[in-house]
Amino acid sequence: MAEGLEFYKMSGAGNDFILGDNRQGSWSAYPLGSLAKGLCLQHLSVGADGMILIEHSKKAHLKLRIFNADGSPSPMCGNGARCAARYALLKVIAGRQMTMEAGPDVLGAEILQGDLVRIDMPGRAERPFKADVILNGRSLPVFVTHTGVPHAVVFIKDRRALDALPVNSLGATLRRAPEFGSAGTNVDFVALSPAPPFSIRTFERGVEGETLACGTGATAAAWVLRHLGRAGDEIRLLTRSGKELVVQVLDRPSPAPQFTLTGEARLVFRATLSLEAIQEAMRCG
**Catalytic annotation, residues:** 77, 214
Alpha-carbon Rg for the chain, nearest whole angstrom, is: 18
DSSP for 255-280, written as a single string = TS--EEEEEE-EEEEEEEE-HHHHHH
d(CA 152, CA 186): 6
**Nearest CA to 145 among 232, 256, 254, 222?**
222
